[in-house]
Structures are given as structure tokens and as C-alpha cells.
Chain A
Amino acid sequence: MKNGHTSDSDSARASSGRASRRPPRRERYSALQLVSKGLSGGDWPRVWEHRDLERRYDVVIIGGGLHGLATAYYLAAHHGIRNVAVLDKGYLGGGGSGRNTAILRSNYLTPEGVRFYDRSLKLYEDLAGELNFNVMFSQRGHLTLAHNDGALRTMRWRAEVNKLQGIDSEVIGPDEIKRLVPRLDTSDEARYPILGALYHPPGGIIRHDAVVWGYARAAGRLGVHLHQNTEVTGIDVQNGSVTGVRTNRGTIAAGTVVNCTAGWSTLISDMAGVDMPVTTSPLQAAVTEPVKPFLDTVVVSGTLHVYVSQTDRGELVFGASVDPFTSYSTRGSLEFVEGLASNVLKLMPSLSKMRLLRQWAGLCDMTPDYSPIMGATPVQGFFVDVGWGTYGFKAGPVAGEAMAEHIATDRVPEIIAPFGLDRFETGRLVGEKGAAAVGH
């Protein structure tokens, strides 16, 4: 049976080998298809096609995560640039895209940051329709707790900046917080009493793997080549212009190379001889066993270095601040679990009997001002979309859209103009430390 199946699919592949360069037949996902395939037991087509590695592409994107795939998708969809390859040394979405805690929000601190992240949130709102892929975006509201006067002042500041940019964001008191999240200990007796919170109703959580797969499928359908297990080992630069990349599967010529990696972004930029003001630190996260739904919103506490949300399956997802030293190690630590459990119980004492299922770590490329670095570099044709610290996932769609426009038109879109590499020479930093992450 198994042999018969294998030879069947082999012969099918051989007969269609000649036509494999043609984009595959477009098949839309729909409820009708789900029912008909469910009843007939029909096979679903591969989500993205395997293509042979070519020796030349117009654009080579290094990093097959959300940012790389989104850039490729918008290059093909908005600008008609389809001779594009996305290379990943592992599998698609295996880095930061699959390790974040899937929280989306736009209540940042600087006008530049707020505008940028809010564009991303808008793109996320329409993403399922655009990609024809259920990304399970749940806009359940986002609470950032303030446990002291300083934090409360920052929340008020953020709320005012947000409102000026037309974003739904306000400071609420303990009674309102208790109504939204009954399990929170909002009493005066808490170790860190809750004085108020920044409430951001459009924030929420999403299924991060689905976002990656949706972009991969949509980009693949437009003719983008997705190459997994293809590690870039060098970047060729001649007379100040990029000419191609070297990989473990041979050399690829390309006039445009985009560094969309996270964690390894300085190592890739080093290959092109471009210095980055970036250091890499791990960030750890953990998930509990599933329980009945009780937590409707995302809850963040900067003072306690923790953020919590409940997935559709019922697990609680916890994240923390970055580990307090630079490292490329993605090994979890016991100190993290101990600290996390203690801090979560200060917020919600009734969770004391819940068990953790697993913990993991992802790599965060931290920049001095907690804002990303996007745009051209001193090497002609070598672009970067890096330095995504702890805020890369929520910015994926807008970063892809803007980077694609930048590459296609050779003009810097206004929305990413403040985030160029040159800001570290002019000193025009975009300080987001107060809103980008917890525990800084």
C-alpha cells in the first residue's frame, strides 16, 4: 500500500515536472471546500510548492520568518517583482516568528512608533481576507498595569500620544481593571498594588504560525521561491555593491539582498561588511496546561516583568523581559521559571495550582533605542530589516509592506524614515524603551 502510494506520487511528479515552473493552480480556502473535502476525504494541496534553487534572482531575502515572507509577498503583490527567493537556514517561521508570545498592539510611546505599529495592526485586521488564511486574530484588549506613580505617569503619557494618533487607548482605574480581569488581585494588600492600567481595546493575540504560513502560501502562489535548509555563508560585495550570496547549496547572484533575520542579524550584516548597533539576548517564555477560559484580555506588568494571555486552546502563555546578558543560546533557565511563577502569583494568586507545560527561548536583537533598523546600508543593494528586539512580530506586515516599497521604488517610505541606520550617526534616536518591552 505504502509502496503503491509512493510510486503514484512519484509518477505524478515526473509527469508534471516540465510544468513545475508554472505557478500551481490557485485553490482558495473556503467553508464550502472544508465541508466538501471533509465529506469526500479529498487531499489538500501543499501550502507552498517546492521549487528548484536557481542561480540568479532579482531579490534574495535572507530569513524565512514573518518579515522575510511579508517583504517577499508585498514585493510580488504590490510591485510585480516576482523573481524573488526567500532563504532560511532552518524551516520557515522557526526563529522569532514561532517563538514570540503572539501579542499585537500599537500603544507605543513616540509618535513615529505609534504611527508605524498602528499601520501594522490595521494590516493584521484585514490579513485573513487578504491572504485567504485564517490567522485567528482575536482583538481582546490589552492592559498594561501600573504599580507605582512613575509607571502611571508613563501610562498617561502614552495614552495622550496614542489619542493624538487616533488610537483607542486610555488609563483606567482598579475598579475597571477588576471588571475586565476578575482574577487579578487588585486589593491594597497585594505586594505590588495595582494603581491603574493603560487599556488598549484593539490589542490582542493571533496565531503566529498561521501568519507565517499564510504569507508563505500567498508569496509562493505569486511565484516567490521559498528555500528552507539553505544557509547563507557569505555575501559577495564588489566595488561597494552587493552581487550575490554564497550558501550551503551554492552561489546565487542577486543585485538586491535583504537581511530579514532576527538573532543572527549582526552575523549576516558582518558578511557584507556593515556594522550594526545591535546586541543579541535571549527572551524566555512559557506555557501552562490548558484550562477553561477565564482571562479575556492580555495583561502586562512592567514592574513584575511578565505578560500573560490565554490562547484559544486555554493555555496561559507567559513572557518575560530579555535575559540580562547577551547570548545566542536558546536554552531555558530555572531562574526564569522561578521568577516568572513568583511574579504571576503576585498578580493572580488563584493560579497557584496550575502546571507549566514547557518553556522556550527566542533571540532578540536589541538596539540602543528599542526601535528597529530598516532601510538601505552603505553597501549598495544590501538592505536591512533588523534590530527587532521584543517587538518584531507585531510589526511584520508593515515592515514587509514598507521594505517592499523601499526596494521597488528606491525611495524611503515616510512611515519607516525615522528608523534608518543613519540615525545612530545623526543622533535622532526613536526612544521606545518605556513602551517596547517589560522590565527595562
Chain B
Amino acid sequence: MIQIPCPWCGPRNVTEFHHYGPSATRPSVADTTVEGWHRYLYFRANPLGPVEESWYHAAGCRRFVAVVRDTHSNQITPAEGAER
């Protein structure tokens, strides 16, 4: 069973969370190219190994949680500089 360390609720089952993945920076509509916009829409890094990503604690405190997860083993540790 995968548990996510919620800084507000403690370790909770992964089924309480929604996966949002690595955060992508939305380009400014004013000065991005069409290609840049398509890259933002469709392309995501898909690495094998540790990824910093956010999860939303939907069935709990309803806050976003930043963690580092190894996509091979699903081992999760709190992200550096995560709140609390």
C-alpha cells in the first residue's frame, strides 16, 4: 500500500489523493509561440526515478502536497522545502 506523507494530516492512503504530477509552468499567452503552447499542453517529462510532483488531498484536508516519488519503486518522501 502506498502512503503519502501529508504535512497536515500525517501519512494517508494514496486513494485519498488525486495525482497532479510535476508542475508545468504555463507560458504567458502574450509572448509564447504556437509550438511553445503545444509543448506546454501535451509534452510531459516521463522519467524513471525520483520525480518532484504534487498530489491533492481530495478526501482529507483538500490541500496540495509536494513530494518526491521514485516512479520505479513508488517510494515517497516529502519534497524539500514543502510547507510545514
Q: Which residues of A line the B interface, CB within 8 A?
A: 264, 266-267, 275-280, 324-329, 331, 333-335, 368, 424-425, 427
Contact = CB atoms under 8 A, between A and B. Distances in A.
B44 interface: yes
B43, B46, B48, B71 interface centre (most CB from chain A within 10 Å) = B46
18 contacts: A276-B43, A276-B46, A277-B42, A277-B44, A278-B46, A325-B19, A326-B19, A327-B74, A328-B71, A328-B72, A329-B74, A333-B1, A335-B14, A368-B42, A424-B42, A424-B43, A425-B34, A425-B38
Nearest to A264: B48
A106 B65 CA distance: 41
A331 B14 CA distance: 15
B42 A324 contact: no
B62 interface: no
Contacts of A326: 19, 21, 46, 71
A329 B71 CA distance: 7
Interface of B: 1-2, 13-15, 18-19, 21, 34-35, 38, 41-44, 46, 48, 71-74
A425 B38 CA distance: 6
B71 A327 contact: yes
Given A325-B19, A335-B15, A425 B46 contact: no
B65 to A, nearest CB: 13
A267 B71 CA distance: 13
Given A277-B44, A280-B46, A424-B38, A329 B15 contact: no
Given A275-B43, A333-B1, A427 B38 contact: yes
A427 B41 CA distance: 10
Given A264-B48, A325-B19, A368-B41, 15 more contacts: A276-B43, A277-B44, A280-B46, A326-B21, A326-B46, A328-B71, A329-B74, A331-B74, A333-B2, A334-B1, A335-B13, A368-B42, A424-B42, A425-B35, A427-B38
B72 A279 contact: no
B70 to A, nearest CB: 9
Nearest to A339: B15
Contact of B19 (A264, A324, A335, A424): A324
B63 to A, nearest CB: 18
B22 to A, nearest CB: 9
Contacts of B43: 275-277, 424
Contact of B48 (A276, A325, A328, A368): A328
A351 to B, nearest CB: 24
Given A279-B44, A280-B46, A335-B15, A329 B72 contact: yes
Nearest to A426: B38
Contacts of A280: 46, 71
Nearest to B34: A425
Contacts of A275: 43
A175 B19 CA distance: 40
Contacts of A279: 21, 44, 46
